[in-house]
Amino acid sequence: MLSGALLLGSSFLASAVEMVEALTIVLAVGLTHNWRTALLGVLAGFLALAAVVAALGPSLVHYVPINALRVGVGVLLLIFGLQWLRKAILRAAGLKAQHDEAQIFERELAELRGGAAGGQAVDWTGFVVSFKGVFLEGLEVAFIVLTFGTNSGRFDLAAAGALLAFVIVGATGAVVHRPLARVPENAIKFTVGLALVSFGTFWGGEGIGVKWAAGDATIVILAAIYGLSAAAIINLLQRSAPPLPAVGGGSG
């Protein structure tokens, strides 16, 4: 029950962050070229993602022993989660520029305007940009859903979290037609980083034969340990180095 709620929440938040990034790129293509180009790129991106998930999902579950899977997924989740957490800590400490979707959107618009064809004809530059945005950001979502789903045996919850994020982010983007700049992206990335590292430690540990004394509640305990450690690191970094001026976008 507890790990199910954490699984759903983590999948939702991780997916929402990646989808906001993909939406920013698609909106930029739609506004500079045309919506037909942007939506064709989205459709192609989704088809490519579906092919990757269909190819990897069943083979993972049916052909790889569960403990080997847990170790492999544990390592990947640890690495992935630590990357998110590292960036979130640097941003929270003021040592890395905030991931500002409005600035990224303006930058994409400026770059795309140089090659904009206009009209309703499909523009291949815009198509590729839209496709890459959806495919690459979607690949991270697919990775999280696949790893969470295979390890927990709850594909339904992992996929439901991603689907919920897709519906909310997609509907919001369709209504506002602007990048979702008010989403507290760094706070979400910090939370997701904590969740990925906690699940990675837990599942990786189970895979190598560690019997966690607190059972599923270990995930919450690990998240608390990592959260407190990250807060202490942010505090140390803020004291030891001068912060960056509040400019720039950056990726990831």
In 38-61, which positions are buried (b, 16+ CB within 10 angstroms) versus exposed (e)?
A: bebbbebbeeebeeebeeebeebe
Q: Is 210 in the site for another protein (CB under 8 A)?
A: yes
Q: Is 82 in the site for another protein (CB under 8 A)?
A: yes
Closest of 171, 159, 124, 148 to residue 20, by C-alpha: 171
Instruction: Name the DSSP class of 36.
Output: H
Query: Angle at which helices 185-207 and 124-152 pack, to 10 degrees?
Result: 40
Query: Angle at which helices 185-207 and 218-240 pack, to 10 degrees?
Result: 130
Write down the least CB distance from residue 31 to another protein, Å: 27
Q: Which is nearer to another protein, 39 or 76 (CB)?
A: 76
Query: Site mask, another protein, residues 188-207, x = CB under 8 A?
Result: ---------x--xx--xx-x
Q: Is 208 in the site for another protein (CB under 8 A)?
A: yes
Q: For the chain, state the CA radius of gyration.
A: 19
Q: Is 71 in the site for another protein (CB under 8 A)?
A: yes
Identify which range of 23-31, 148-156, 177-185, 219-227 contacts another protein by CB under 8 A: 219-227
Cα separation, 120 vs 108, in Å, equals 20
Query: Site mask, another protein, residues 90-129, x = CB under 8 A?
Result: x----x----------------------------------
Query: Angle at which helices 155-176 and 2-32 pack, to 10 degrees?
Result: 30
Write down the least CB distance from residue 187 to another protein, Å: 18
Write down the least CB distance from residue 68 to another protein, Å: 12
Please say whether the beta carbons of 119 and 34 come within 8 A: yes
Write down the least CB distance from residue 123 to another protein, Å: 23
Q: Is 139 in the site for another protein (CB under 8 A)?
A: yes
User: Interface residues with another protein (CB under 8 A)?
Assistant: 71, 74-76, 78-79, 82-83, 85-87, 89-90, 95, 139, 197, 200-201, 204-205, 207-213, 222, 225-226, 229-230, 233, 237, 252
